[in-house]
């Protein structure tokens, strides 16, 4: 029965790994799209006189709406994958318990195990699964937190150097990498 109980550990590991792969990808896309949306909001608020001067209100609204829909899609997909973790862990635990009960019942019928031994083993098995389930539940929160501070996250900014002189900052990492110049970027003054 111990072998049966321990066989579920690799199953739990591979399910967690599969879900984590898709969850992490979803959270990365969510953070990227959220950064784009925040950049658009800041650009439109700080540059609203320019948007109005060139009659670009509808264009700004359309761009915002498109990015907002994209954010909704990627965030929903990430949360759906993240929400699979708990039910999958419960399913593997219940499957493990069902196999142990079945196998223990067969052993009890043959006189190789008592009902008390089987009950104790079911209890031990559930105690083994408990920390694994807790780790799996926290894993998605950790994934989300890691991706929100990911060193590969990029954001585009327009940095004010002097009157009329702006420099584009393409990547924001633990350091600032200044490269080129461009349009439609957030100003940092």
Position 112 scores a pLDDT of 92
Output the six-digit token pair for 23.
């969850």
CA distance 94 to 85: 14
Lowest mean pLDDT among 60-74, 116-130, 165-179: 165-179
Contacts of 172 (CB under 8 A, 6+ apart): 153, 154, 155, 157
Q: Which two tokens stand for residue 120?
A: 């104790």
Whether pLDDT at 71 is above 60: yes
Q: How far apart are CA 133 and CA 136, in angstroms?
A: 5
Place of tokens 């584009």: 168
Tens digits of residue pLDDT in 124-142 = 888 888 887 777 777 767 7
Q: Do 28 and 105 touch, CB atoms closer than 8 A?
A: no
Tally the residues of the chain.
Answer: 189
Cβ distance 163 to 170 under 8 Å? no
* Two tokens, residue 173: 């990492």
Query: What is d(CA 153, CA 140) in angstroms, rounded to the nearest whole number?
Result: 19
**What is the pLDDT, as a whole number, of residue 149?**
63
Helix (H) or strand (E) holding 45: helix 2-46
Relative to beta strand 154-162, strand 186-188 is parallel
- Whether this prediction's pTM lies above 0.75 is answered by no
């Amino acid at each position: 029965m111990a072998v049966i109980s321990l066989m579920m550990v690799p199953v739990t590991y591979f399910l967690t790994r599969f879900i984590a792969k898709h969850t992490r990808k979803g959270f990365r896309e969510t953070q990227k799209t959220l950064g784009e949306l925040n950049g658009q909001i800041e650009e439109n608020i700080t540059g609203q006189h320019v948007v109005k001067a060139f009659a670009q209100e509808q264009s700004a609204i359309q761009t915002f709406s498109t990015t907002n829909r994209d954010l909704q899609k990627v965030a929903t997909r990430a949360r759906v994958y993240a929400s699979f973790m708990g039910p999958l862990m419960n399913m593997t635990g219940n499957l493990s318990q069902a196999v142990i009960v079945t196998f223990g019942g067969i052993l009890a019928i043959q006189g190789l195990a008592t009902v008390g031994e089987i009950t104790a083993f079911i209890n031990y098995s559930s105690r083994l699964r408990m920390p694994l389930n807790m780790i799996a539940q926290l894993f998605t929160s950790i994934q989300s937190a890691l991706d929100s501070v990911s060193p590969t996250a990029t954001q585009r900014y327009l940095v004010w150097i002097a009157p009329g002189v702006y420099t584009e900052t393409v990547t924001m990492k633990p350091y600032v990498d200044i490269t080129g110049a461009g349009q439609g970027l957030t100003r940092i003054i």
